[in-house]
Structure 1
Amino acid sequence: MDPKRSRSRVPDSLVHLIVPAETHQEARPLALLLDFDGTLVEIGDTPEAVAISPAMADTLAEASRTLSGRIAVVSGRSLEQLHHLLPPALAGGVIAASHGQELSVDGAVQAPRRTRLFVDLAFEAALHFEDFPGIVIEEKSFGLGVHYRLMPQLRDRAEQWAMAQAASHGLIVQQGDMVFELRPGGSDKGDAVRAIMALDRFAGSVPVFIGDDLTDIPAFEATRALGGQAISVGSRTADHSDERLDSVEGVRRRIAALIA
């Protein structure tokens, strides 16, 4: 890894503010906001083929204790998916799911009313791609992912179908890591960051957001606007962040260092 890319580019004055607890009068406590796929877990061949490692689960539990609960997951996955995938230290805390459409705080959920739109689109997608088993359809509470990781040569076909459905149903197409996602407009991960930082437990803290994908760029921007630090995983979003990590294990070590 290039040592120049591994160092934070934020001013020293900001780095000094990022502390795990109130160690002196001027210090502001840290708040940790984390993407899921590609950040807490390696990207899987299919959405279900992921799991948080025991070491990561232990580090996240310690972070939750050290930060007095000022830790949150911000993901494009549905809340239902995340409840199944996250360790107890995070599953019962603060989760912004579906790119901010769903917000769960200690089990209390705020979300718009669900419709059958994405159920119906999942059915249509299954029919459309039935002769292409390498296309994986991921139905979400407020979205639909068309994954082509298993057959990269089908990228254009996946994109064309997603764009046609977006035009028909007034949706937007969000490009991710070998996936095209259909979702409603009106919210993104930047909105999720702002909503989380408005919660009482996060008041007065310095946000640090860690993410790897294009959908995390609005979260980086919101975090930096709030005086915090944006950390990218890999190269895709490095130009939008203050610091770059190279792996999920690098994320775990960085979290451990932040709360030490």
Structure 2
Amino acid sequence: MLAERQPATEVLAPPPVVPSDVSLFFDFDGTLVDLAATPDAVVVDQRLLDALDILADRFPGRVAIISGRSITQLDAMLGRHAQLFAVAGSHGAERRTLQDGHVAAERPASLEAAAESFRTFADANGLVYEAKSLGAGLHYRMAPAFEPDAVALAEHLSATHGLTLQRGKMMVELRTPGDKGAALRQLIASPEMAGSTPYFFGDDVTDEDGFEVAHDLGGVGVLIGDPRPTAATYRLDDVAALRRWIDGILE
């Protein structure tokens, strides 16, 4: 039975974990790194890269990133460090593991048509278009007045082209089917993760599927950010608080 969404009203950090018992799943933007005005402006600092290296060593085969970004985008931001753990991109529509390599569906022509509409709208109104392997994003963080028009366009294109509409923080996305909960189920079936307790960390409504599946599998979700209705069991204030929690389990 999936977790019921309740307000996470208090800051309750997850307890320390034992590497042999737990698998760690992290969203990327807003979780491991702070959000920025545009997707390309996100900063990946050396301290995070060092921490990911140590996590991969302490939790061998039991660390994964599950992101709305494509795997290509994550590789560009994380470099060689992204090869040390499992990665699921495009909200779970693609994944890469040591056992299976890179598994992804083909980019449909309908997505390319929708992406072109997003690009045209973004160029005309000073918004930011984000290209993804299996999705297309339209960001209005720098022009929030365009939110109603951006959402209406996304809804129209979703219905016209049969694509999944995903709302995010100051953005809308059209993508092929997939969700982070399904990605977690696929990844935790690996020999290294099998039988472990999943901890899923995320900040956005797109992470709720991951929280629910983690709970369903006997684990927990950890919300990063302000209180809101959520299926997460624990909550940390922000990216900095998660970084401190990671530092604590690595000491």
TM-score by length of 1: 0.87
Partner of 2:10: 5
CA distance in 2, matches of 1:85, 1:54: 11
Q: CA RMSD in A?
A: 1.9
Aligned positions of 1:1-260 closer than 5 A: 5-8=10-13, 18-21=17-20, 29-106=21-98, 108-133=101-126, 135-185=127-177, 187-235=178-226, 237=228, 239-260=230-251
Q: What is the rounded CA distance, in whole Å, between the counterparts of 1:148 and 1:249 in structure 2? A: 25
Q: Which runs of 5+ in 2 are unaligned?
A: 1-8
Find the aligned partners of 1:131 and 1:65 in 2 and give their Cα distance. Answer: 47
The answer to whether the 8 A contact 2:163-2:174 is kept is yes
Large movers: runs of 4+ above 4 Å: none
CA contact (8 A) 1:217 1:237 kept: no
How much has 1:72 moved relative to structure 2?
A: 0.4
1:76 is paired with a residue whose SS is: coil
Conservation of the 8 A alpha-carbon contact between 1:34 and 1:74: yes
2:62–2:85 CA contact under 8 A, matched in 1: no
State the AA in 2 paired with 1:7.
Answer: L
Distance 2:161 2:110 in 1: 9
8 A contact 2:11–2:234 mirrored in 1: yes
User: Is contact 1:74-1:192 (8 Å) kept?
Assistant: yes
Question: Unpaired segments of 5 or more residues in structure 1?
Answer: 22-28
Which residue of structure 2 lines up, in the alignment, with residue 26 of structure 1? none
Amino acid at match of 1:130: D
Cα deviation, 1:14-68, whole Å, max 9, x if unaligned, reads x58x4123xxxxxxx2111000000111111111111222212111111111011
Q: Per the alignment, in what secondary structure is the counterpart of residue 39 of structure 2?
A: coil
In structure 2, give the amino acid aligned to 1:132. Answer: N
1:259 is displaced (CA, Å) by: 4.0
Q: Distance in 2 between matches of 1:259 and 1:31?
A: 14
Residue in structure 1 matched with residue 4 of structure 2 by the alignment: none
Deviation at 1:126, TM superposition (A): 2.2
Q: Which structure would you say has the larger Rg?
A: 1
CA distance 1:170–1:236, change in 2 (3 Å): farther
Does the aligned pair in 1 maintain the 2:119–2:129 contact within 8 Å? yes
Partner amino acid for 1:117? S
Q: Secondary structure at the match of 1:256?
A: helix
Which SS does the other structure have where 1:201 is aligned? coil
Spell out, residue by residue over 1:138-178, the C-alpha distance to the aligned partner (whole angstroms, 9 max, x if none). Answer: 12111111110010111001001101100100112111001
Higher-RCO chain (CA-CA 8 Å, sequence separation at least 6):
2
